Each structure stands twice: as structure tokens, then as C-alpha cells.
Amino acid sequence: MQSSAAPSLAQAAKLLKKYFGYDDFRPAQRPVLTSLLAGRDTVAIMPTGAGKSICYELPALLLPGITLVISPLISLMKDQVDALTGAGIRATFINSSLSSAVARERYAGIAAGAYDLIYVAPERLDADGFRSLVSEQSIAMVAVDEAHCLSQWGHDFRPSYQAIAPFIDALPRRPLVAAFTATATPEVREDIVRLLALRAPAVHVTGFDRPNLYFEVRRGEKKRDFTARYVRAHKSEAGIIYAATRKEVDKLYEHLKKKGIAVGRYHAGLSDEERARVQDDFLYDNLAVIVATNAFGMGIDKSNVRYVLHYNMPKNIESYYQEAGRAGRDGEKGTCILLFSPQDVMTQRYLIEVSTEDPARQRLELAKLQRMVDYCHTPECLRAFLIRYFGGEAEERCDNCGNCRAGAETVDVTLDAQKVFSCVYRMHERYGVTLVAQVLKGSSEKRVKSLHLDALSTYGLYREKSIEDIKLMIQRFIATDYLALEGGEYPVVKLRPPAYDVLRSRAKVLQHVLPEEVAAEEDPALFDRLRALRKEIAVEENIPPYLVFSDKTLHGMCELLPKTEGELAAVSGVGEKKLKKYGARFLACLAENA
């Protein structure tokens, strides 16, 4: 119900407990809610898992009028509305998935004031019927989700988002406007403010860190064998495996099936029916693992994904962080592993070149690709690399990534650095990684000799190393900002300012040497029984299991072992309606463990 009283954070906190079962706001939610409830235009950059949806759902219950949520994620709209209506909140969605009859019924509901929250696809804003209908309603707030889609220089520009600002301008009374996204560089944030014509907005940039996620890059793995081993070792957990192309998805899917693994696949080349079936099987926990292109996941609000494997390197950091961030949305631990091979770079470069005609856009995409390559080669903290990319500040070590995990050794590679930097300098910073590596190797390639590079003093300094090992060493120095790649189609290696201090023996270069991972897995019997009960209820109600309770809430039950309804209500994620609906069955299951 909407409140006529002035909205306050205290009121929002009561609704948070009533509808969502949470005792308090997450740290990132409080400042965003404060500015929205004060009636101030707001931009919120919040990582996946920080709870951004509650930041517009709670004001929608307190502000006098309808809140429109504009989102491009059609399948996610349904999941979010199902979750809201399941908690007792008046919400609906309007998009192209609806039949004409259902759309008319929902339009009538909007006219009758039956909803506090309406999710709508941006394409719908141009429709005369929808525009005239909402113009007759009191629109309290327009919340723009995935707001990075506004920026032409972001990683996921969508022309349909250009209709949002004119739509808002055409409303009889300008509503409060809020923009939300998980991934936006400072430049994209400026675009969001400008393109939505926000008025003196409060801009909240939550730390981009996802502390519950473990990040790792693996190079030189036999990818298919590693993936099969990993999936088998985590067979009770939900996971997504991303591959770069449809062909790669199909090959890996067939390989895992032959290994006896129950797996689904998802890409744009499959029929609508097959994609819908596989997506539902994954959401409803009938399939634990799915192999997919990046077409999968944008609309998946599945909270209990425990791991995301990238079989191929994505084309930019934004895509990677968004896809990897689908692990651990419930706040529980998640694992994000990227399997890198040099071929990935060639594949992504080709995809950029064939899909991008505008030269300026292509240069931008290639520069973003290089930063993705840098991530794959950096010997420094992976979490710090990601956070700093988005303009945040980070500690030098996180102790929860592949480069920082316990047992890593720090070694002095200053001599190697001086050899490489000297070679680049003597080659006048005019050539690419491969030619630099060939000179250091002492290669007898024709081009090396025709350019007289075999006469350099750095020629053959690494005869004992392979070309690939030398290239890897060079890439690590690029990733740590001692070297840079400049130029478009054929980038050349340049010295960065820190390299000169190393050449003059004024600074040392230290890198981490990583140990082999020893994996550990834990799956308590009580958690399994609670999960089985959740699945049973989900089948009865024909809803995804995580809409009953999240993994985090089940873990909370295991930890607190509640015996009464009052104790169960204290578990994070158990709201009033779910307590009445499911409480007795979960308490009975917990009692069996006593």
C-alpha cells in the first residue's frame, strides 16, 4: 500500500522486514534510499549482489503514485514480478512476451490503480497506447535499470534507451528519476546524467568489490578436460559456463554430455522453445550446469549460482564482470574462473572487426579488449585490477583471488624486465609483441633479419625460452603498466614511464609466483535436506526454488537452527508472507535434525 505520509528511512525499514524479511539495509542501499526518499534524482552504481532492486522497490511502496521500472531484460522482469507478488507487493510487467489479451488486462489494471510497480521494456515507451495510458496516471518515479545501455561508448549500448528522456519530458508532471547499473566507468556515468537530463542528481558509487567472489585466471589448461573435472567436482552446485561462439558452446556441450554430465546449452542459434526450456530447467534446478554464449544470463535472476567459468576470454572487462557477477548473488561464496588462451584474443578481435563499422567505435572496442588481455596476464591482485578499472580504490592484496591466494611467492624479476625493456628501447618502440619476442628468442625468421634486428645486443637473450613464454612475460609487463600497446590494427609495444626507472636500476619489479590449487568442497546434510524441501515446494507451486528461499537463507537456518516461528522469522530472508506460507514445513525439517 502506498503511504500518504512523508516517506522516511524508518518506514522503508519496516517494509523491508515485512515484505523481504531483512532486519536491516545493506551498506550500499541506505544512501541511495535516503536521496530517493528525499525526492532527489539519483544515479546508483551498485555491483551485482548489493541489492539495487530494493532501492527502487521500497520507494515505490512509499511514494504517492506509480513507479515505472524501465529494463531491457524481459525474462528478468517476470522473475522480479513473481518474487514481488510472492511477497505480497502489487507489481506487473508490460513487454512483448505478453499476448494481446493479457496486455489489455494489465492496461486495465494500470488504469484502475491496481499496481505500485510496473516493469516496462524501453521499446514500449514509443507505443501510443502505453504513453497515453501512463500520462493519465500519477507517475511518482521512473527507475532506469541497466542504465549503462544509454551510453554509446559503454559496453552494451541499446538504441531503444534513447526513447527514455523524451518519454519523461512528455509526461504531464516530471517524476523523480533514478538510474541504476552494476558496471559503469566514470565516462559512462557522465553520459547517464547528461542523456537522462537529471537535475542536480545524487551520484552514489558503491565500491565495486564483490568480497564473496573468488577470481582466478588459468592459462595453459586443457580447457575441455579442466571444465569436465571442475563440473564433476561441483556436481551439486549450480554453474554457468560461458563460451565465445555458438560453435564453441555446441562442442563443449557435446563433450560434457559424453562424459555423463547433465548439462544444458543456450545460444541464439537454438529455437525459442529450446532456449525457454533450458532456461526454465536451470532456474528450477532441474539442470545444475549450462553452457552458453553471452546471450544467456542478462535476464536470469538466479541467486544460487555458485560458479561461473569463462571457457573463452570475453571482449571487455565490463562484460566479464557482469557475467562473472552472476555467481553468488545471494551473498554466499562464488567462484569465477577464466580459462585463457592466446586464440581467445584473435577470436574477439575478429568479432569486433566484423561487427563494428564505425572506426572510432572499433578503436574503443580494441582498447577495451587490450585491458581484458591485461587482466588475464597481470601478476597483481585480480580484484584490485577490476575495482580500479571502474574507478574505485583497492588494497594491493585481497587474499581471495588466484593471484593473492595463500602460498603465493613474491619474486624479483627486475633482470627479466630490464632485458625486455632494453629490447623494446633498442627496437625504437616500433614493433609488436611477436617481433619483440622473436628478437629476444634469437629467431631466424626472415623479417627479423631483413630489418637487421639480429644485430641488436638484446638478440637471443632468451634462447632457452619458447616464443610463447617470452610473449607471456611481455604481456605481464603490459598488464602491470611498465609497457603499453598503442595503435589500432597492428599495435606496437611502447615503454611507459615506470620502465625507465627500472632500466636505470632505480626501481625493482616484483611479481607473484602462484602455487597449485588444492580444492575443498563442503555440503552439509542438513543444507541438502532443506534444499530438497525447497525443491519440493517449488515443484508444487511451479516457481523457481530460489523464489521460495535463497541459499543464503537456507544457510542461515542451518546456522541458527530455529525451533519456533519467532526464531525462524529472525533468519535473514524470511518475511511475513513466506513465514506463514512455508514456516511450518521448514521448522519440521529442522526438527528432524535435532
- Tens place of pLDDT per residue across the chain (594 aa): 444 456 889 999 999 999 999 999 988 899 999 999 999 999 999 877 778 899 999 999 999 999 999 998 776 788 889 889 999 999 999 988 888 899 999 999 999 999 999 999 999 898 878 888 998 999 999 999 989 889 876 667 788 899 999 999 999 999 999 999 987 778 888 999 999 999 999 999 887 888 999 999 987 778 988 999 999 989 889 999 999 889 999 999 999 999 889 999 999 888 888 888 998 899 888 999 999 988 665 556 688 899 999 999 999 998 899 899 899 988 899 999 999 887 788 888 888 888 777 888 888 888 889 999 999 988 889 999 999 988 888 888 898 998 887 556 778 999 999 999 999 999 999 999 999 999 999 999 999 999 999 999 999 999 998 898 899 889 889 878 899 888 766 789 999 999 999 999 999 998 766 554 433 333 458 888 898 999 999 999 999 898 899 888 998 898 888 899 988 988 888 988 999 999 999 999 998 876
Q: Residues 179, 228: one domain?
A: no
* 360, 389, 418 - which closes a domain: 389
* 205, 229, 248 - which closes a domain: 205
Q: What is the CATH number of the domain that holds 502?
A: 1.10.10.10
Domain count, the chain: 4
Distance CA 139, CA 70 (A): 13
* 361, 389, 417 - which closes a domain: 389
Q: Residues 59, 130: one domain?
A: yes
* Helix count and strand count (H, E) for the chain: 24, 17
Three-state SS at 93: strand
Residue for grid cell 535434525: 593
Let me know if residue 402 belongs to a domain: no
Cβ 137 vs Cβ 67: under 8 Å? no
φ, ψ for residue 506 (rounded to 5)? -95, -10
Q: Residues 366, 462: one domain?
A: no
Of 522, 474, 521, which Cα lies nearest the Cα of 496? Answer: 474
Q: Residues 432, 530: one domain?
A: no
Three-state SS at 152: coil
Q: Residues 183, 220: one domain?
A: no
Region of residue 460 (phi > 0: left; psi between -120 and 50: alpha; otherwise: beta)? left
Please state whether beta strands 483-486 and 492-495 pair in parallel, antiparallel, or not at all (unpaired): antiparallel
Q: Residues 267, 381: one domain?
A: yes
Let me know if residue 298 belongs to a domain: yes
List, in order, residues 6 or more apart from 464 with CB less than 8 Å away.
none
Q: Residues 86, 163: one domain?
A: yes
Q: Residues 176, 70: one domain?
A: yes
Q: Residues 428, 564: one domain?
A: no
Let me know if residue 186 belongs to a domain: yes
Distance CA 518, CA 405 (A): 11
Q: What is the CATH number of the domain that holds 232?
A: 3.40.50.300
Let me know if residue 225 belongs to a domain: yes
Let me know if residue 426 belongs to a domain: yes
Q: What is the CATH number of the domain that holds 560?
A: 1.10.150.80
Residue-range definition of the domain harbouring residue 128 = 9-205
Let me know if residue 588 belongs to a domain: yes
Greatest Cα pair distance, the chain, in angstroms, is 84
Q: Residues 507, 544: one domain?
A: no
Which residues lie across from 511 on neighbouring strands?
411
Q: Residues 377, 414: one domain?
A: no
> Cell triple for residue 122?
524501453
Q: Residues 217, 196: one domain?
A: no
Let me know if residue 58 belongs to a domain: yes
Let me know if residue 397 belongs to a domain: no
